[in-house]
Amino acid sequence: MDDSLGDTAYSLANIDRRSSASHAFRVGVVYANQGRREQAYESIVQAYTIWAEYGQRWQAVDAALEIVATGYDDGSFARYAKRESKAYPNSWLARRADALELTSPSPSSST
């Protein structure tokens, strides 16, 4: 049996999951723009989870920032975005993470 077929099938499965993440992210952004924050949160968390699992930091940070924007973040996604965006210090992701971190509740504050 040709081992490369197994490698190809594995690679295609990974592409499908990342493709699913991209789709979930886009759907979540649409939900957010429609004011459907709970659905947005659920879709974008799905995308974040897949991207973080595969080490796609840039996409995971972008998803974390969108999660913060839904208002459902307990501060963990804002902290993640702030920490991980440091790898891209001159990017719009880092600037957006800095701005959202200022408006996100700290873990010790109560609302």
CA–CA dist 57, 55 (Å, integer): 5
CA–CA dist 92, 71 (Å, integer): 20
Domain residue ranges in the chain? 3-103
- Predicted TM-score of the model (pTM): 0.76
Whether domain 3-103 has CATH 1.25.40: yes
Per-residue pLDDT of the chain (111 residues; tens, 9 = 90+): 444 544 555 555 566 788 899 999 999 999 999 999 999 999 999 999 999 999 999 999 999 999 999 999 998 999 999 999 999 999 999 999 888 745 544 444 333
Name the residue with tokens 């959202």.
100
